[in-house]
């Protein structure tokens, strides 16, 4: 009977397939063949078919860092041979992308690089300052919700310490009323009251930048209690104001048409001095589009209203307390309601609904 037991034990070991769970250690080497061995797509994106030949069932996935622009179907196949569809979203940036997918059978993994070309730079969009080239923009030349590739939403109430009265939601209220949408080449962010709650939207760019010329064309809302802003916060934020804040444009409705440009850091924070803040009266800020910009280098930040300089804040070389502005910062577009500054003279709900409109947001770098 001993020979029979040996044969049965050997047969059991041979039946252990690649990738089997709970089957112990197998000496079998799994194989995976993938064709093509690399993928290249244009900036427009698209789908590519990949042939898979494995020794048993296999799985496929995009790298975590690439999952927002690369997807695969199917993610699992019980058949050793099959076709995998790799979908690459359109590249809405002016930089080429490199990512990867992985096909796995048991412990064997095959990585397939994915290359995507950059979007063609619109050379008709020129920087008002010399020496800069366009690297990112949203012209809002589409219809519907704001681009989910470029923007994300910060939701909640109270303004994170500013005692604001609005509730920020993503795109629409619980009743389905839009608070952020794109139409006729313009982004509209609304401030409205519905069922006793004032709603608005706070949009953050997914990308962040260090240095460059940043500019947006904006028409401001009206009404006492409104507090619109186009500003930037550090991507790796840990503490405020220590890590810095850059307010390219702010206005409060009780002081209409007076726009503010301000920096915040440990050394200068809400002091109201001419070192850290400037104001400019724009008589038609609520009825017409105006440009609000900033040139940011390692030595200074200069703010612009309608491309005329209003304030230059210089790096005095004293360190982080005065100059935390050497890290990546992202954009924020929002309308607050009330709060420590916006509600300083009360609010007037008769102005609701009101809205801020944005024609474009652009980033240029050297």
Active site residues: 245, 250
What are residue 115's DSSP bridge partners?
40, 98
What are residue 153's DSSP bridge partners?
203
Interior/surface letters 115-133, b for 16+ CB within 10 angstroms, e for the rest: ebeebeeeeeeebebeebe
> Angle at Cα 318 formed by Cα 317 and Cα 322, nearest 5°?
100
In whole angstroms, what is the distance from residue 42 CA to residue 96 CA? 10
Which has the closest alpha carbon to 303: 364, 276, 311? 311
Which has the closest alpha carbon to 127: 357, 294, 359? 294
237's CB contacts (< 8 A; 6+ apart) are 243
Is 288 exposed, middle or buried, given 0-12, 13-18 or 19+ CB atoms closer than 10 A?
A: exposed
Interior/surface letters 234-259, b for 16+ CB within 10 angstroms, e for the rest: bbeeeebbbbbbbbbbbbbbbebeeb
DSSP state of 66: G
281's CB contacts (< 8 A; 6+ apart) are 257, 258, 259
- Cβ(41)–Cβ(115) below 8 Å: yes
């Amino acid at each position: 009977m001993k020979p029979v037991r040996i044969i049965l034990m050997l047969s059991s070991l041979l039946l252990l397939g690649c990738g089997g769970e709970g089957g112990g250690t197998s000496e079998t080497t799994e194989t995976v063949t993938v064709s093509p061995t690399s993928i290249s797509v244009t900036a427009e994106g698209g789908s590519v078919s990949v042939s898979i030949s494995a020794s048993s069932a296999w799985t496929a996935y995009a790298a975590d860092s690439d999952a927002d622009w690369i997807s695969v179907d199917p993610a699992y196949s019980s058949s050793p041979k099959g076709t995998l569809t790799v979908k690459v979203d359109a590249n809405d940036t002016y930089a080429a992308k490199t990512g990867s997918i992985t096909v796995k059978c048991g412990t064997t993994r095959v990585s397939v690089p994915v290359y995507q070309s950059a979007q063609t730079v619109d050379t008709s969009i020129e920087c008002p300052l010399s020496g800069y080239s366009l690297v990112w923009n949203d012209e809002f030349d589409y219809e519907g919700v704001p681009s989910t590739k470029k923007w994300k939403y910060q939701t909640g109430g109270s303004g994170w310490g500013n005692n604001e009265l609005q509730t920020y939601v993503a795109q629409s209220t619980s009743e389905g009323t839009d608070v952020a949408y794109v139409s006729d080449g313009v982004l509209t962010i609304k401030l409205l009251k519905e069922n006793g709650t004032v709603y608005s939207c706070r949009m953050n760019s997914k990308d962040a930048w260090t240095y460059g010329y940043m500019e947006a064309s904006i028409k401001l809302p009206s009404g006492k209690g409104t507090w619109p802003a186009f500003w930037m916060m550090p991507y790796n934020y840990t503490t405020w104001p220590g890590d810095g804040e850059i307010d390219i444009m702010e206005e409060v409705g009780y002081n209409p048409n007076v726009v503010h440009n301000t920096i915040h850091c440990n050394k200068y924070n809400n002091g109201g001095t001419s070192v850290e803040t400037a104001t400019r009266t724009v008589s038609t800020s609520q009825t017409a589009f105006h440009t609000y910009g900033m040139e940011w280098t390692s030595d200074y930040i200069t703010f612009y209203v309608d491309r005329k300089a209003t304030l230059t804040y210089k790096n005095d070389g004293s360190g982080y307390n005065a100059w935390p502005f050497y890290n990546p910062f992202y954009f924020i577009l929002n309308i607050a309601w009330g709060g420590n500054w916006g509600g300083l003279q009360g609010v007037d709900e008769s102005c609701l609904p009101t809205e801020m409109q944005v024609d474009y947001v652009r980033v240029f770098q050297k």
